[in-house]
Amino acid sequence: MSSNVENPFAELTGAKQTMSSWARVIESYEDIPEIYKNSCKPLLQGRSPFPYVVLAPAVSDYKQKNTEKLLSEMDGAFHVWERTGKQMVFAAYPLKTIYSLEVGSVLLFSWLTISGQTSEGVTDSVTISFNTATRRFLSPFIDHMRPSPVVVNEADWQTELAKFDHLSSSEFKFMNYARESLVRGGKVICSLMQPRIRRNIFTLFGQKFYRTMVLSHLALLTDKEAIFIRDDERTAEIQGRGERYGGVWQYVPLRSISSSEITESENGLLTLSIKLSIADQQLDKIFETSSKKELEDFQRKLNQAIGK
């Protein structure tokens, strides 16, 4: 009987299956999988020094499946080669036209979604999924799409981080997420926390049943970005705690925001609509009417930050 080592059809162990989902750095053009070479040859072959290139394998987890992608950032643009079967789809996103960067993480499953105009002038988005253990390989791309850090003294930096201390007792997770989202040297202008919004839908034998209308989220305004941090709707609540694992961070550069407005719906909720300067895109964030004064203050400061 042949061993698993000799048998090419032996099933992968759990560890090997996990490792097969890990993103990895490509060190040279020769290292690039053959299927990508024809498409990326004009940009990558013979280039010296060889740019930073990452292969992100297809990840099937967390209720969704994504394709394998080859990634690189060079000449002021983020380049994506997407493998769909035997076909190759290429897109380049100039960094200055990226209007939204979403980074999500739930346990071992992570993703980033880049939205912007491609070099062809098409408004589009791309999602790259990866194992959370390999985030360090994707971090350089994320860092280049966000403001550059600035050298500041530690006391000033701690002052900015302390602006989220008021969340420590009620929203400890979001306090930490807000701190993690800041780029060193950034100035926090204001923030607004919205706990989950639930509505009683019916009562049976004296027991009330609720529906979650809006998940917990935090709106954060800095001198360079509007940052929105939220729970992910695809995750289940941790039993007995009303919390969810992981989170989603959305970074929107202020240069991409053209205006904002607040509207009130019939169900008594407020919507902050943020209009983007690219292709008429709009972001909607929902809040309780009890936060109307704080939301109006957030909108006023946002308009000031974008020069409105």
- Which pLDDT value is given to residue 2? 41
Flag whether pLDDT at 163 surpasses 60: yes
Query: What CATH number did the domain enclosing 267 receive?
Result: 2.30.29.30
77 pLDDT tier (thresholds 50, 70, 90): very high
Whether 89 is covered by a domain: the verdict is yes
5 pLDDT tier (thresholds 50, 70, 90): very low
- Which pLDDT value is given to residue 266? 77
Q: From the CB of residue 77, how many other CB atoms can be counted at a distance below 10 Å?
A: 20
Separation CA 163–CA 189 (nearest Å): 9
Q: Which residues contact 238 (CB under 8 A, 6 or more apart)?
A: 244, 245
Cβ 111 vs Cβ 142: under 8 Å? no
Query: How many alpha carbons lie under 13 Å from residue 56 in its C-beta half-sphere?
Result: 32
235 pLDDT tier (thresholds 50, 70, 90): confident
* pLDDT tens per residue, range 251-282: 999 999 999 999 998 788 999 999 999 878 89
Whether 291 is covered by a domain: the verdict is yes
Give percent helix, percent strand, percent coil of the chain, each to the nearest 5. 25, 40, 30
Whether 4 is covered by a domain: the verdict is no
CA angle 155, 102, 88 (to 5 degrees): 135
229 with 139, same domain: the answer is no
23 with 52, same domain: the answer is yes
Amino acid at 99: Y
306: tokens are 């974008």
Flag whether pLDDT at 62 surpasses 60: no
107 pLDDT tier (thresholds 50, 70, 90): confident
Whether 235 is covered by a domain: the verdict is yes
Whether 278 is covered by a domain: the verdict is yes
180 with 122, same domain: the answer is no
133 with 164, same domain: the answer is no
66 pLDDT tier (thresholds 50, 70, 90): confident
Q: State the residue range of the domain holding 96.
A: 14-145
Q: What is the mean pLDDT of the chain?
A: 88
How many separate domains does the chain show? 2
Query: What CATH number did the domain enclosing 54 receive?
Result: 2.30.29
Report CA dihedral (230, 66, 60, 133) to the nearest 10 degrees. Answer: -60
* pLDDT tens per residue, range 165-183: 999 999 999 999 999 999 9
- Give percent of the chain with pLDDT exceeding 70: 85
**DSSP letter for each residue of 224-268:** SEEEEEE--TTSPEETTTTEES-EEEEEEEGGGEEEEEEEE-TTS
Whether 3 is covered by a domain: the verdict is no
Q: Which residues contact 38 (CB under 8 A, 6 or more apart)?
A: 88
34 with 126, same domain: the answer is yes
Q: What are phi and psi of 73, to 5 degrees?
A: -120, 120
What mean pLDDT do residues 29-42 have? 95
58 with 201, same domain: the answer is no
240 with 139, same domain: the answer is no
- Give percent of the chain with pLDDT exceeding 90: 72
Given 101, 125, 145, the domain boundary residue is 145
> For the CA atoms of the chain, what is the radius of gyration?
22
Given 145, 164, 183, the domain boundary residue is 145
Given 117, 145, 173, the domain boundary residue is 145
80 with 211, same domain: the answer is no
pTM: 0.88
Whether 5 is covered by a domain: the verdict is no
Phi/psi region, residue 59 (left: phi>0; alpha: psi -120 to 50; beta: rest), is beta
Whether 270 is covered by a domain: the verdict is yes
